[in-house]
Amino acid sequence: MKRALVIAFGVAIGAALPSAAAEDLVQIYRDAVANDPTLASARATWEATQEVLPQARANLLPAVTLQGNANRQNFYERLHNTDPGFSFSTKFPQYNYTVSATQPLFRKQNLVAYDQAKQTVSQSDYTLASTQEDLIVRVAQAYFDVLLAQFTIELTDSQKAAVSENLAQAKRNFEVGTATITDTNDAQAKYDQIVAQELSVQNDLDNKIAALRAIIGRQPKELKRFAGSRYEPQLPTPNSLDAWVEMGLRDNLQVRIAQSNFDIAQLEVDRQRAGHYPTLDLVASFNQAYQGASASVSITAPAAFDSRLGVVGVQLNVPLYLGGSIDSRVRQAVSNLEGTRQNLEAARRSAQLSTQTAFTGVTSGFATIKALEQALVSAQVSYDSTKVGLEVGVRTNLDVLNQQQQVYQTRFNLAQAYYNFLLSGLRLKQAVGTLTEADLEQINRSLSG
C-alpha cells in the first residue's frame, strides 16, 4: 500500500512542486472574497438590512416637528361714494411657528414590527453566511477543476509520447520482419486518437480557467498542486450519517433562513390583527404667532398682537370600521404564513438530502480512493508484464497499447477521486452550516506543496 500511495500521488495528482510564485487555494479564495460580485452584492444587501432595526425602533420613539411661516399682508381700499374720494391702505407682517411632539404610548403594530425587524436582521446574518459558504465551495470546485484539467493535459502529453515511442518501435520491428503491419496500424490509430484529444483537453482547460477568472476577477497565476506525502484521506467525524443529518436539520443555513421567514410571517399575522386595536399617544404642541400693523390714515387699523399657545394631552384612536381591509390583510398574512411553513419543511428535506449526499460522497470517496490506489498498482504491474510479453512474443502491440491506456485512465480516475473527496468534505460541512475559511486552510496545510 505504501507503494500505491507513492504512485497515486506521484503520477495521479502531480508530485513536482510548483514555483514559489504559484498561488494556493487560500490565496485564490481571499481574492474571490475581495472581488466576487455575488458576495459583494450579498454584503451590500446585509448592510442595507441592518437599517431595518433603527427604522422600526424609530416608530417607538418620540417624533418632533417644527412648522413655521412668515408673510406680509398689503391691503388697499378706495371709497367712491364720498366727495372727494377717500382711500386708505394698511400693511402688516405675520409670523408664527408650531412645535409638535408625539410619543406613542400604545401601538401594538409598531411593537410587533420592531420584533419583525430584529428577526429580519438575524436572518440577514444567515443569508450572508450562506453566500460565504457557497463561495468557498465555488472557489474549491473551480480550483480543483483547473488542476484536473492541467493534469489531463499532462496525461495526454505523456501518453502521446509513450504511444509515439511505441509506434516508432512497431515500425522498426515491421521493417526487420519481427512484427506485422497490424501492430504498426494499431499504434498509428492510437497515436492519431491522442492527437485528436489534445485540442479538446486544451479547450477544457481554457474553460476551467475562465470559470475561475469569473470568480476572482483576474487571470489566475500558476496554481499550486498537491503533494501526496502530506495527505491521507480521513473518514468524517463522527462517522455516523444520523449524527450529521441531525446537525443538518438543526444548523443548515437555508433551514435557519426558512425558519426566520416562518417566524417573521407569524409576527406579520399578529401585526395585521393589531389593526383592530386602539392606539394611544402622548401629544404636545407649542405655537407662537406675531402680527404687526401700520396704516396710511388715522383710522382703526388691525392691532398688533403676540400670542403663545401650549397644549399637552393624550390622543386615543379607535378603529371602528375600515371597510373590512384589516380582516382581509389578516387572511392574507395567514395564507403567507402557511406558505412559509411549507418552505421551511422543504428546506429541512433539502438539508437532509444534501447532508446525506455529501456524507455518502465522503465515505464512498474514501473507499474509491483506496480501491483506485490499488487498481493503479495493479494496472502498472499488468502494463509492465504486457511489455515483457510483447518482447517474448506472447502479447501483441495492441495489448500493450490497451494496457497503457488503462494505466493512464486509472491515474485520471484517482486524481478525480481525490478532488471529489475533498469537495464532498466541504459540502458536508456546508450542509450542516459549519463551513469556514479555516477548512480551506486545513486543505492547504495538508496538501499544498
Answer yes or no: is pLDDT of 372 > 90.
Answer: yes
Name the residue type at position 378: S
> Which pLDDT belongs to residue 85?
55
Tens digits of per-residue pLDDT, 139-192? Answer: 999 999 999 999 999 988 888 887 777 777 767 767 776 667 776 777 788 778
CA distance 334 to 272: 10
Tens digits of per-residue pLDDT, 222-269? Answer: 898 876 555 688 899 999 999 999 999 999 999 999 999 999 999 999
Name the residue type at position 111: L
Tens digits of per-residue pLDDT, 184-226? Answer: 777 788 778 888 888 889 999 999 999 999 999 999 988 988 7
> Which pLDDT belongs to residue 179?
64
DSSP string, 20-64: TT-B-HHHHHHHHHHH-HHHHHHHHHHHHHHTHHHHHHHTTS-EE
> Which pLDDT belongs to residue 298?
43
Mean pLDDT over 436-445 rounds to: 91
Band of pLDDT at residue 444, cut at 50, 70 and 90: confident
Band of pLDDT at residue 89, cut at 50, 70 and 90: low
- Domain 2-60+107-278+323-447 classification at class level: mainly alpha
> Which pLDDT belongs to residue 395?
76
Domain ranges of the chain: 2-60+107-278+323-447, 65-105+279-317
Tens digits of per-residue pLDDT, 268-315? Answer: 999 999 999 999 999 999 999 988 765 444 444 456 778 899 999 999
Band of pLDDT at residue 377, cut at 50, 70 and 90: very high
Strand partners, 286: 99, 310
At residue 100, the 3 state secondary structure works out as strand
What's the mean per-residue pLDDT of the chain? 86
Q: Is the peptide bond before 238 cis (omega within 30 degrees of 0)?
A: yes
Mean pLDDT over 399-415 rounds to: 85
359, burial (CB in 10 Å: exposed 0-12, middle 13-18, buried 19+):
buried
Mean pLDDT over 46-73 rounds to: 94
Tens digits of per-residue pLDDT, 13-24? Answer: 444 444 457 889
C-alpha cell at 301: 387699523
> Which pLDDT belongs to residue 447?
64
> Which pLDDT belongs to residue 188?
80
Q: Check residues 307 and 390 and name the one with the higher pLDDT.
A: 307
Name the residue type at position 229: S
Answer yes or no: is pLDDT of 343 > 90.
Answer: yes
